[in-house]
Amino acid sequence: MPRGRYALLIIDKEDNIYDIYQTQLKECIPILESQAQLKCEKLKLKSPNKDYSYKIVDRNKTGESYA
């Protein structure tokens, strides 16, 4: 999968990354957010003692690289 400008990371409280959604288009972020919310809910069912959330990263601003 090519790396996108925007990365949406599924993380826990300790900032461990569980999944990554990527896109080049800012307009696609709401779609990725809905997918991320579902993924967080599924992870919460598997591990109810952990809190999962997501964050959006603009790699052009941060320079961060995620596989």
Terminal Cα-to-Cα distance of the chain (whole angstroms): 9
Please report the pLDDT score of residue 63 as a whole number.
64
DSSP state of 50: S
* 1 or 64, which is more confident: 64
Distance CA 31, CA 51 (A): 22
pTM of the predicted protein model: 0.76
pLDDT tens digit sequence for 25-64: 989 999 999 999 999 999 999 999 999 999 998 888 866 6
Please report the pLDDT score of residue 67 as a whole number.
52
Q: List b or e across 29-67, with b for residues whose CB sees 16 or more CB atoms inside 10 angstroms.
A: beebeeebeebbeebeeeeeeeebebeebeeeeeeeeee
